[in-house]
Amino acid sequence: MLRKRGPQLKTRYRGWMRFVSSLMAGVFLVFNIGTAYGFTSDKTVTLLASAFVDTDTDGDGLGDTWEIQYFGSITAYDGDDDPDGDGYNNLWEYRYGTDPTDPGDPNYYIPAKNRALQFLKAMMDRYVGSGKRILCSYVDSGGSTFGYGWTYDSAISALAFENAGEWQRAGEVLDAFIWFQDKDPIKDPGTGLSDGRIRRAYWANKPIDDTHTGDCTDWIIPPGVNPEASNQAIGDMAFMILAALRYHEYLGQEDSIYLNFAKKLGDWIYNNAKSSSGAGGYHMARQYNEMIDPDNFDRKSTENNIDVYAAFMKLYEAQNDHDYRIYALHAKNFVLAMWNDIDKMFWTGTLDDGVTINGGDNSDVRGYVAGIDTSGQPEDPSTWGYLALGETGKYGAGITWVENNCRVNNIDGYAFGYDFNADRDGIWFEGMSHMALSYQMLGNNGMSDDISDVTLQSQNFTTGGIPCASLNKDGEIGVTTSFYQWTLNTDYHVAPAAWFIFAINKHNPFWNQAITDPIPYEGGYNDTGDKYIFNDPWAEASVTDIAPATDNTARAMVDFAGEGGDDKGTISVADDGIIVKYEWDFDGKGTYDWSSTITGNVTYWYTELGTHLAALRVTNNKGYVSTRGVSVSITQADLGAAFTPPETSGVSASVISGQAPLTVSFTGSASDPGGYVAGYQWDFNGDGEYDTYSESSGNITYTYSEAGKYQPTFKVTDNDGLTDTATLAIEVLTNPNGPSARATSNTDGVEPHSVNFSAAGTTGNITTYEWDFESDGVYDWSSNTQEAATHVYTEPGTYRARLRVTDTNGVSDADTVNTRVEYNSLLADPQAVGSADPVNEIIPFDATFTHSLSIGLITKYEWDFEGDKRYDISTASAGDVVYTYTRPGYYLAALRVTDDNGLTHRTYVPIAAMGPDQAGAVYSSYIRTPKSGQRIYGNSVTVSIGLAPNSKSQDAQLEYKSTTAGAAGWTDIDASVVYPYRTTMNAVAAGAGDYDLRAPVNNISDESKIALVIIDPVNWDIYEEVNAGGGRTKQVRVNKDENTEVELVDGTRCEIPAGTLDADDVLTITTPNGSGTLVDDGENTVLYQREFTLASGAGLNKPITVVIPYDDVDNDGIVDGLNIPEENLELFVYNETTKEWEALANYKVFTDENYVSGQVSHLSIFGLGGGGGVGPAAIGTGIAAAFGGGGGRGCFIATATYGTPMAGEIQSLRFFRDSCLLTNVPGEFIIDMYERHSPPIAGIIERSKLLRSMVRHYLKPIIRFARFVNCLKAVMSHD
């Protein structure tokens, strides 16, 4: 497990051997306890001396007291004698504490267990011998320690005390943590009281003072001493809940401070760590130095969720409170999803996105591939999963995995043992007892005894201590864990002693019961055998088959089985619910890709190697939902041996932390040995919905407007549709001057249910209000003036609507509100079946979509051709629709039908769009705009050409031909159209009529797709002209029910989603004459201006996308005219009322293609500027804004080097600075000089990966020295 972070995790020393003599170790321990650390309890010193020291006058290896006890004389027998004839000589029986006069098999476990218990007592009494106190976690052979008391160690020791009947000691440990909880410096802002948290560690060497009236800051280990000690970890809290509830049960009271303590901990976990991503569960919830700045640790741990599951179940048992059962199931969902059914083991957990499996390879970027490499996976998720869940037939197989992958033989003098993980470099003794208990549960007591024998061999027979780990395979201190380069050393540690007690007593600490007792289940039975009535249904998810596709496409086909039910457990059937909807989220990132009212069984495909999380959600007739996760592992064999996936590389971010709005330049590249990379995409917030697509580059700059932690994901797709992804981590800090969103709504209801949403409580100078009504990553409604919105939910379920507001500085904030919609049993659901032809083709190709078997009076048909939750066309008729696929990939096209009652139904059509085999061979081409069938007119109509495969180096020829019989053949419009393949056509000169357009590449006309355009001077769809000054005007008729894309020859573009307008309209885009501007502010601070207007002046119902190109003719990265780096570009809108430019949020800079794309909620004049000289000063960026820490004194160079001011190294340096340098005049002088000259140096370091690596190397000894001094000062101040 990963919560023991004492000195063993920092060990880097080599060649130290353990003391040869256990007796010598005991003497050193007693000496150090009595002198160096100043025991306050003489009783404890006496106890240690009498228990651990026994004179051997005759030198036979047997203690005098022991010989007199059993033989009446010290000379009766020698060590080699066996007076009882049981085959064990006196030295053996003396060592193991058994009776040398009893010929029966000696039960040496009892004295060994008692020694372990004595060790726990000694570690509890190390600094104070009575009253509320915690255990010191570690002691080495000489008795040295840092004085830490890790919360997990005290919690597991309290459980061991309870199991051994040492109730007073258990209560005193719990009393200490209740004191810490009540006096934590972080308070609930509503009550001003403790918010329920406890920290990962406290000073064990600082006695608790009951007269202390302030908070417990002095007992919290500061980050400069240990960066993790002041954090919170849900697993530690969960074990403390288990100990507190056991003590509450012992007291036999209806209510107690221990029950309230446990409830506060549980509520804190639920309120602060609950995750909605992937398969749910709870984040590890570490918050680095929250007393300064909170930073939730977003990865999820399987073992932590196992702990939390058991803790919430015990709270449920203690309180009969159904909410705790729901909380427990939320943890169990994640644990079950972490089961790897290929390798038969539990994954360790996820990376920070809450979805990607953590491979434990220190990269924190790439996921883990099942069946290929298990060396990074630890033992305890599989042993704890079995101990907590039972189910020998399934999870018992995890013990076999540990046996086969973590067992080591003949190491450090031990016959065998089990490592922390599968790299097999040593023995982890806490894990030995995990395995001993697991084998007991499997019914193999012989193997359990063999394991405990080895653990007993490691025990110090003088002190009773058990080491954390053995020496490693090289005979050195430092058994590796594969996580963060943590290592385990040979110090005596309380946790293995506590778990050894559990193993000897055959006790399951998760359920406080004998190891052979049945594992509790959350099915809902009370003590009288009656079932509780629950609102939520149950769900079960599984994978039934994985196989390569049989249609010659490069993908693994996965069969999912999903079940659900809602039996309330009462006699009356009327109490039962019914499942009315099944949904699957195939990438586990929180947005659901597939839905059915009939079944949860579905076949889906995966195109990337590795382990993926999928989640099933079922909805009952009351609108309540339950989810269940399942992991899917894809290997090369599953994709098909003939297909080679692409590989990402060079994925990085220019900055990883800073205040909103935070501009980040991302880079990403890829290679594909079996083909070519056809597309590059970025998902900036990690929700599974990709925000950008480029055919040529993975480099882009994006500005985060909203505070939060994000996991931007880079994805590449090759010509076969195979993909690879890489994930980064970005933290955006709160802007204290930003807006505050407040979302409210009216009551729940029955489908179709109209909900009124309001942002009336929002504060700030708001320019944009946006609503995502289903939290699927797509904002459905937008306004620059209106606070209220209305949405009709047409399907049952529990929905979380998300409000996002943006102010004039381009800073955003968000809030959510839930709505529950019940199934309408009085109305029949509409039904429809969709189909397409073809469904598997080489791009570019037209797919004709149709529907059949409609049930109900259908009033609207909507098609989402790419499965991106954005419906591309809406019609009232049942006619066929045609969509052109131009990008390689696999798409789950969706048809949504709506009936006359306002209810909806969805059906799906899988589409496989494959790229041509090889780049550089024959190129296919097609006309992007105008679309086939459109009517055009004007003296300069933009024609845009697409190529497959994509290319920047080919020549296309734009040609036209009249369709009139007898007309001449193909005529060049432009004989050489080069990248980005845009040109113009003079429709006025061509004359009215019907014309075919084509754009052959390299004169190969057979591969060019023909588009029909109609030149019509009256009833045009597109009118575009250039005036004498060079200014361009383009007008396009917009169908309110279709996606509309408008493009100009310079790259200016506008994308209007279907449903944005209430009525058909005409969009006009205007560019200035020459290099002029539409709005002259006299300073040319905003250039590249474009005006977008609607003829009706109507507002927009949804956000639209505007694209503004810019010039960088010499390709030096500096924007022509503005003279600023292109990554500093910002998108502005002109406020006609105030006559000022205002910054916009949610924009991206495509630095290779030279354009800026942004989402806007109203039409106006837009332009590009940058730096801090335009608009509000808060727009400025740079090292001070990103890392300055709100004006406080900053570690600029170190922060630029490590990428975030929250890094543990920075915390250590800051503590050293504040406590050692700023306390004297020379130190103040050094700091003043540093802060005067370091920011520009930091800026250079920040921009260079090589410099960051070099500076890290030179900072290491400084940081080690700072931590040593910090630790020394802390120990001296508390001893």
Amino acid at 1086: V
- Is 832's pLDDT higher than 60? yes
The average pLDDT across 15-41 equals 31
Task: Give the residue with greater pLDDT, 483 vs 844.
Answer: 844
Give the neighbor-by-neighbor strand order of the sheet with 904-914. Answer: 840-842, 904-914, 889-899, 858-864, 873-875
User: What is the Rg, in whole angstroms, of the alpha carbon atoms belonging to the chain?
Assistant: 35
Q: How far apart are CA 429 and CA 1163, in angstroms?
A: 67
Task: Give the residue with greater pLDDT, 373 vs 579.
Answer: 579
Question: With bands split at pLDDT 50, 70 and 90, how would you rate the model's confidence at 645?
Answer: very high
| Closest C-alpha among 116, 155, 195, 185 to residue 1 | 155
Q: What letter would DSSP give residue 871?
A: -
What pLDDT does residue 1223 have?
A: 74
Q: How far apart are CA 876 and CA 548, in angstroms?
A: 39
For all residues of the chain together, what is the average pLDDT?
84
Dihedral-angle region of residue 1080 (phi above 0 means left; psi in -120 to 50 means alpha; beta otherwise): beta
- 1033, 1049 contact by CB (below 8 A): no
| Closest C-alpha among 616, 561, 557 to residue 586 | 616
- Is 1183's pLDDT higher than 50? no
What pLDDT does residue 487 have?
A: 80
Question: With bands split at pLDDT 50, 70 and 90, how would you rate the model's confidence at 1131?
Answer: very high
Q: How far apart are CA 1230 and CA 582, in angstroms?
A: 64
CB atoms within 10 A of CB 353: 28
The average pLDDT across 551-565 equals 93
| Closest C-alpha among 139, 128, 115 to residue 173 | 128
- Residue 133 sits at φ, ψ, to 5 deg, of -165, 165
What pLDDT does residue 1224 have?
A: 78
Residues 6 or more apart whose Cβ sits within 8 Å of residue 785: none
Residues 6 or more apart whose Cβ sits within 8 Å of residue 1213: 224, 1195, 1198, 1262, 1263, 1266
What pLDDT does residue 1277 have?
A: 53
pLDDT digits (tens, 9 = 90+) for 1096-1121: 999 999 999 999 999 999 999 999 98
What pLDDT does residue 267 have?
A: 94
Q: CA 325: distance to chain centroid?
A: 24
Question: With bands split at pLDDT 50, 70 and 90, how would you rate the model's confidence at 1068?
Answer: very high
- 288, 297 contact by CB (below 8 A): yes
**Integer distance in angstroms from the first to the last C-alpha of the chain?**
30
Strand 1147-1150 and strand 602-606: the pairing is unpaired
Task: Give the residue with greater pLDDT, 609 vs 295.
Answer: 609
- Is 360's pLDDT higher than 70? no
What's the whole-model pTM score? 0.71
- Is 12's pLDDT higher than 90? no
- 609, 645 contact by CB (below 8 A): yes
- Is 478's pLDDT higher than 50? yes
What pLDDT does residue 162 have?
A: 97
- 794, 862 contact by CB (below 8 A): no
Strands (E), 450-533: 479-480, 487-488, 492-493, 507-508, 513-514
Q: CA 509: distance to chain centroid?
A: 29
- 416, 401 contact by CB (below 8 A): no
For residue 1009, the surrounding DSSP H or E stretch is none
Q: How far apart are CA 1130 and CA 589, in angstroms?
A: 29
Question: With bands split at pLDDT 50, 70 and 90, how would you rate the model's confidence at 650?
Answer: very high
Residue reference for tokens 């970890």: 233
What pLDDT does residue 313 have?
A: 93
Q: Tell me if residue 399 falls in helix, strand or coil.
A: helix
What pLDDT does residue 784 have?
A: 85
CB atoms within 10 A of CB 1227: 14
What token pair was written down for 656?
């990883």
Q: Tell me if residue 1128 falls in helix, strand or coil.
A: helix
What pLDDT does residue 19 have?
A: 30
What pLDDT does residue 1104 have?
A: 95
Amino acid at 633: S
Task: Give the residue with greater pLDDT, 127 vs 1229.
Answer: 127
What pLDDT does residue 276 have?
A: 78
Q: How far apart are CA 885 and CA 618, in angstroms?
A: 33
Give how far Cα 1156 sits from Cα of 88, 693, 855, 1093, Å.
83, 13, 46, 19
Strands (E), 507-609: 507-508, 513-514, 538-548, 556-565, 579-585, 594-596, 602-606
Q: How far apart are CA 60 and CA 57, in angstroms?
A: 8
Amino acid at 489: N
DSSP assignment of 620-637: ETTS-EEEEEEEEEE-HH
**Facing residues of 21 across strands?**
none
Question: With bands split at pLDDT 50, 70 and 90, how would you rate the model's confidence at 361?
Answer: very low
What pLDDT does residue 288 have?
A: 43
Residues 6 or more apart whose Cβ sits within 8 Å of residue 934: 1013, 1014, 1021, 1022
- Is 509's pLDDT higher than 60? yes
Question: With bands split at pLDDT 50, 70 and 90, how would you rate the model's confidence at 1055?
Answer: very high
- Is 869's pLDDT higher than 70? yes
Question: With bands split at pLDDT 50, 70 and 90, how would you rate the model's confidence at 835?
Answer: very high
Task: Give the residue with greater pLDDT, 1055 vs 1198.
Answer: 1055
- Is 366's pLDDT higher than 70? no
Q: How far apart are CA 296 and CA 916, in angstroms?
A: 45
Q: How far apart are CA 748 and CA 830, in angstroms?
A: 22
Residues 6 or more apart whose Cβ sits within 8 Å of residue 479: 419, 420, 425, 426, 427, 428, 469, 470, 472, 487, 488, 489
What token pair was written down for 545?
């088959």
Q: How far apart are CA 515 and CA 892, in angstroms?
A: 48
- 275, 338 contact by CB (below 8 A): no
Question: With bands split at pLDDT 50, 70 and 90, how would you rate the model's confidence at 34?
Answer: very low
Question: With bands split at pLDDT 50, 70 and 90, how would you rate the model's confidence at 534?
Answer: low
Strand 749-750 and strand 812-822: the pairing is parallel
Report the range of poorest mean pLDDT among 115-119, 392-396, 687-691, 1183-1187.
Answer: 1183-1187
What pLDDT does residue 718 have?
A: 95
pLDDT digits (tens, 9 = 90+) for 651-660: 999 999 999 9
The average pLDDT across 1127-1148 equals 88
pLDDT digits (tens, 9 = 90+) for 237-252: 999 999 999 999 999 8
What token pair was written down for 813?
């904030």
Q: How far apart are CA 987 and CA 1137, in angstroms?
A: 38
What pLDDT does residue 367 have?
A: 36
Q: How far apart are CA 312 and CA 238, in angstroms?
A: 8
What token pair was written down for 1175?
């608009």
- Is 1165's pLDDT higher than 50? yes
What pLDDT does residue 709 have?
A: 84
What pLDDT does residue 1024 have?
A: 97
Question: With bands split at pLDDT 50, 70 and 90, how would you rate the model's confidence at 1005?
Answer: confident
Question: With bands split at pLDDT 50, 70 and 90, how would you rate the model's confidence at 600?
Answer: very high
pLDDT digits (tens, 9 = 90+) for 774-804: 988 889 999 988 889 999 999 999 999 999 9
Report the range of poorest mean pLDDT among 407-416, 693-702, 712-721, 914-923.
Answer: 914-923
What token pair was written down for 975?
């004989």
Sign of CA dihedral 183, 188, 192, 193: negative
- Is 11's pLDDT higher than 50? no
Amino acid at 1264: R
- 154, 237 contact by CB (below 8 A): no
Report the range of poorest mean pLDDT among 66-75, 280-289, 401-410, 927-936.
Answer: 280-289
- 121, 131 contact by CB (below 8 A): no
What pLDDT does residue 365 have?
A: 31
| Closest C-alpha among 1180, 1218, 1182, 1183 to residue 1200 | 1183
Q: What letter would DSSP give residue 1006?
A: G
What pLDDT does residue 1081 have?
A: 64
The average pLDDT across 269-283 equals 87
What pLDDT does residue 1101 have?
A: 92
